[in-house]
Structures are given as structure tokens and as C-alpha cells.
Amino acid sequence: MKTSLLTRLALASAMTLFASMASAGITLDGTRVVFAAPAKETSVVVRNQGSNDIMVQSWVEPDSSGPATDIPFAITPPLVRLGGNKQQILRILYQGQGLPTDKESVFWLAVQEIPQKAKDQNSLQIAIRQRVKLFYRPANLPDTAANAAKSLQWKLVEQGGKTALSVSNPSAYHVSFSGSTVELRTGKGTATYTAAAEMLAPGATRVVAIKGSPSVSSGAATVEFDSINDYGGLDRITSKLSN
């Protein structure tokens, strides 16, 4: 009997928690932010989807894959009270110099909801944080971001006695893969192999393992993947392997 009662109480608490989470939360108006020079600022809209007032705190963090550097950005307002079902424009300001001018730099924009203090001491409060990539794009870079994914150079290599994919990014832009996977098509029918792939920085080369044991020649195979564009949409890219 005690077990049944505890189970019902736990289910009731979980349903209450999920209902509260469903009616609350913050959202941003995009899945990434592109700060294009020579502009000195850009903006993002944060929305409070809940009915209660909240505090919203925002800041910029470095990307773990990049070099350690001071954060040359400021956000205004960094802390703001946001009413229920209201929205706020966050201005992101670039403070001078310090970033490379020949390639993109990447950071993270973090926006966190700070709930009001609950009246019920037994209630559970959850702080919701949104993180999206912030790309700083210098002026006068060669080519375009839209062509960066198409310019990736793929080839087959051997790693640990197994066939792997080497991918190089000769462009000045970051390339992000949707789902973090690419498909290697052998050209011999329907044989398809997947490989894990993370965002590739400008000028970077990475070797990724292929799931399975493909027997393929470079001239017959292609690589297919979805690249995430500036607007958060997906561009389907097909590339031939180089020798």
C-alpha cells in the first residue's frame, strides 16, 4: 500500500513539473547568430513563453575548440526583467579589436532564465538556459559562407588499419554538420556508410572513422551531408572524393 501511494505521489509530482515546464521557458529567434563586420553590433530576440515574470541573464562564452581569448563582446541588457508572454531585444556589441581578420571566430551566446522565488517552499524550480553559436565574420573574406560546405575536400585514408575519411576546410568559414553525421556512398548500388562529423573550423583538417568496412575507390564514391546555413536551415551537399 505504501509503495502504491508513493508511486502515485511521484507521478503526480512529475505531471505537475512537466505541466509547469510546458507553460514556461524562454526561446530565441534563431539557432545561431552571425555577427558580420564592419557592423559594430547585432541583436537577438528572447521571448518569455510563460505567464509569470522572470529575470533573463545573458553572456558570451568562448568555444572550447578555439584558442583561449578574452571575450570582445558585451550584451545589453545583460540582466533584464521580462514579463509573461513578452519579448526583449538583446544587443550584442563588439568591443574593438583582437579577433582574426582573415577567418571567422566562434563563441557561444548563453541566455538563462532566472525564475522568481517560489511562494511554495516545496516547489521545484528549474533554470532554463539556451545556448547558440555566435559567429564573428570579418569583412572582405574570400568567397561566401554559402559555398564553404561545397569547398570541403574529402579523401579516404587509413587509420589504425581501417578505412577512414579525411576532411579539410580550405575556406575562411566554419562548416556545421546537421546530425553530426555524413554518408559515404560507394557508387556500387545502395551501399551507404556513416561517419561522425563535428563542426569544422576554417583551415582545419579532421579524420573521422567510418562505421562498417567499406571497400571503395575514390573515383566512384561520394560524400553526402546536410550543412547548417546562416539561417539555421539545411543545405544538402554532395561531394566527390579526391585522390
pLDDT at 4: 58
| Strand residue runs (E) in the chain | 26-28, 32-36, 41-48, 54-62, 73-76, 79-82, 87-94, 105-114, 129-137, 153-159, 162-168, 181-185, 192-196, 205-209, 222-228, 234-240
Do residues 232 and 226 lie in contact, with contact meaning Cβ atoms separated by under 8 Å?
no
Does the structure show a pLDDT above 50 at 77? Answer: yes
Asked if 130 and 176 sit in the same domain, the reply is no
The three-class DSSP label of residue 89 is strand
User: 127 with 32, same domain?
Assistant: yes
Q: Which of 137, 154, 181 is the last residue of a domain?
A: 137
Question: What's the CA gap between 170 and 237, in Å, rounded?
Answer: 16
Same domain flag for 129 and 150: no
Task: Read off the pLDDT band of 17 (50, 70, 90).
Answer: very low
Residue 98's CATH number: 2.60.40.10
Query: pLDDT digit string (tens) for 165-223?
Result: 999 999 999 999 998 788 888 766 546 788 888 899 999 999 988 887 666 665 668 89
Q: Which of 85, 117, 137 is the last residue of a domain?
A: 137
Closest CA to 160 of 213, 215, 222, 219: 213
* Residue 114 falls inside a structural domain: yes
pLDDT the model gives residue 125:
67
Task: Say if residue 162 is in the same domain as residue 74.
Answer: no
Q: Is residue 12 part of a domain?
A: no
Task: Check whether residue 176 and residue 198 sit in a common domain.
Answer: yes
Sheet holding 32-36, edge to edge: 32-36, 129-137, 105-114, 54-62, 79-82
